[in-house]
């Protein structure tokens, strides 16, 4: 798979990465270590070398499965591992404790990209305490790069101002064709500043694959049960973009998921990390790379997705 440099880092990453929240065993339903290893093995086979996980995913389970699979597959030197610190553990003492646990679970000396999962919202921890501690981890060689996730722009700017020897290289945010709040102010800033937007839920948790409708919802008790995207009203609102994805997919011999990811990778500052539960999904998602839809098709999708994003309602009662 095509490789790119991840923003201002020295990491040569596959054009898209893979999210490992699916390994948690709770949010996305039961998941065994053997399933996780098969998914990671397929990702390596198709050339994916960037994996995203978090302390909170299955309370360390996703990190453990990912680290163990990479170790057993003998791939540590070929991959980059990004993980996140829990947004409620942002005091210096908590960060110092957590990074040791995370390095142990992942089985690595240094974490390639260490991200603040979400800003402190319960504990009133000063942002500079958090950021200066992360900088200390870089100085000590425990972490190579730092990133943030789910920060509004003003707080991101504040976080950067706390750093003196390093900088934030990535911002991980919800971003897909129909969830576009980052377009309003964050993404223009990131492009200007050379910070990569790592797009989470790039397939809108499966909505953009076209397999879910109000009559055919995810069957299991997973995180989507309470996700507003899956209300019948929002699925109906999203239907025209799914139709357009299907139309473009048919023209190029691709799938709607591949077109939805292809729309994202047109922008060099956007880095999608689709989650996958099976080796087949990994292969399909990797097929989003290596071709481009026409400019006209890209623009039509872009406009349609934007219009729909402004009609999706997160208010559900
Ligand atoms: N920073 C944050 O706060 C944050 C938040 C959320 C996620 N993330 C990260 O972003 C990653 C991706 O986001 P996400 O998992 O929320 O959503 P996503 O990537 O948009 O959707 C993943 C789900 O879509 C389905 N799917 C994937 N590929 C498919 C394909 N080719 N064909 C059909 N269905 C397919 C699978 O579920 P089914 O097969 O069951 O439909 C899979 O679990 C996560 O793994 C995690 O690493 C970060």
Ligand 1, closest atom to CA 21? Answer: 45
Ligand 1 geometric centre to CA of 274 (Å): 5
**Per-residue model confidence (pLDDT) at position 258:** 98
CA distances from 18 to 8, 213, 276, 300, 316 (A): 20, 25, 7, 27, 30
Kindly list the protein residues whose Cβ atom lies closer than 6 A to any atom of ligand 1: 19-22, 28, 52, 117, 149-150, 172, 200-206, 209, 211, 218, 257, 273-277, 281, 284-285
| Sequence-ordered list of residues with C-beta below 8 angstroms from that of 88, at least 6 positions apart, any chain | 120, 122, 123
> pLDDT tens digits, residue range 119-133?
999 999 999 999 999
**Per-residue model confidence (pLDDT) at position 22:** 97
User: Which of the listed CATH numbers 3.30.1490.20, 3.90.950.10, 2.120.10.30, 3.20.20.100 matches domain 3-309?
Assistant: 3.20.20.100
Give the residue, by CA position, lying nearest to ligand 1 atom 38.
206
User: CB burial class (10 A; 0-12, 13-18, 19+) of residue 183?
Assistant: middle
User: Phi, psi (5° rounding) for residue 55?
Assistant: -55, -35
Ligand 1 geometric centre to CA of 213 (Å): 17
Catalytic, 57? Answer: yes
Position 79 pLDDT exceeds 90: yes
Ligand 1, closest atom to CA 52? Answer: 47
**Per-residue model confidence (pLDDT) at position 219:** 78
- Please list, residue by residue across 199-210, b when 16 or more beta carbons sit within 10 angstroms of its beta carbon and e when fewer do: bbbbbbbbbbbb
Q: Which residue from 4, 3, 6, 38 is spatially nearest to 20, judged by alpha carbons?
A: 38
The token duo for 191 is: 């492009």
Domain ranges of the chain: 3-309
> pLDDT tens digits, residue range 268-313?
999 999 999 999 999 999 999 999 999 999 999 999 999 999 999 9
Position 241 pLDDT exceeds 80: yes
Averaged pLDDT, 211-222: 86
Handedness of CA 54, 58, 62, 64 (dihedral sign): positive
* Rg, Å, the chain Cα set: 19
Ligand 1 geometric centre to CA of 107 (Å): 24
Ligand 1 geometric centre to CA of 19 (Å): 7
> pLDDT tens digits, residue range 23-78?
999 999 899 999 999 999 999 999 999 999 999 999 999 999 999 999 999 999 99
Mutate which of 16, 17, 19, 264 to test ligand 1's pocket (most atoms within 8 Å of Cβ)? 19
Q: Which DSSP state fits 14?
A: E
Residues in the chain: 317
**Per-residue model confidence (pLDDT) at position 76:** 95
Q: Which residue from 141, 189, 199 is spatially nearest to 166, judged by alpha carbons?
A: 141
Q: What is the mean pLDDT of the chain?
A: 97
């Amino acid at each position: 798979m095509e490789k790119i440099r991840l923003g201002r880092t020295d990491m040569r990453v596959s054009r898209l990465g893979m999210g490992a929240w699916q390994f948690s065993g709770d949010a996305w339903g039961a998941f065994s270590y053997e399933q996780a290893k098969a998914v990671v093995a397929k990702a390596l086979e198709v050339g994916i070398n960037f994996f995203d996980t978090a302390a909170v995913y299955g309370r360390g389970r996703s990190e453990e499965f990912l680290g163990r699979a990479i170790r057993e597959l003998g791939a540590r030197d070929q991959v980059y591992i990004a993980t996140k610190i829990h947004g409620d553990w942002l005091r210096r003492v908590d960060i110092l404790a957590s990074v040791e646990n995370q390095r142990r679970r992942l089985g690595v000396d240094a974490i390639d990209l260490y991200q603040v999962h979400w800003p402190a919202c319960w504990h009133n921890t000063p942002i500079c305490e958090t950021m200066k501690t992360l900088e200390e981890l870089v100085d000590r060689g425990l972490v190579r790069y730092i990133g943030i996730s789910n920060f509004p722009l003003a707080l991101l700017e504040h976080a950067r101002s706390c750093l003196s020897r390093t900088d934030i290289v990535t911002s991980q945010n919800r971003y897909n064709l129909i969830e576009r709040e980052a377009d309003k102010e964050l993404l223009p800033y990131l492009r200007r500043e050379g910070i990569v937007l790592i797009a989470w839920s790039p397939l809108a948790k499966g909505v953009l694959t076209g397999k879910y409708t109000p009559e055919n919802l995810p069957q299991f008790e997973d995180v989507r049960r309470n996700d507003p995207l899956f209300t019948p009203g929002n699925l109906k609102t999203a239907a025209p973009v799914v139709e357009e994805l299907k139309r473009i997919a048919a023209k190029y011999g691709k799938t709607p998921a591949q077109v939805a990811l292809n729309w994202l990778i047109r922008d060099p500052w956007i880095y999608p990390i689709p989650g996958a539960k099976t080796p087949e999904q990994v292969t399909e998602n990797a097929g989003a790379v290596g071709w481009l839809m026409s400019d006209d098709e890209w623009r039509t999708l872009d406009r349609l997705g934007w219009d729909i994003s402004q009609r999706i309602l997160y208010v559900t009662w």
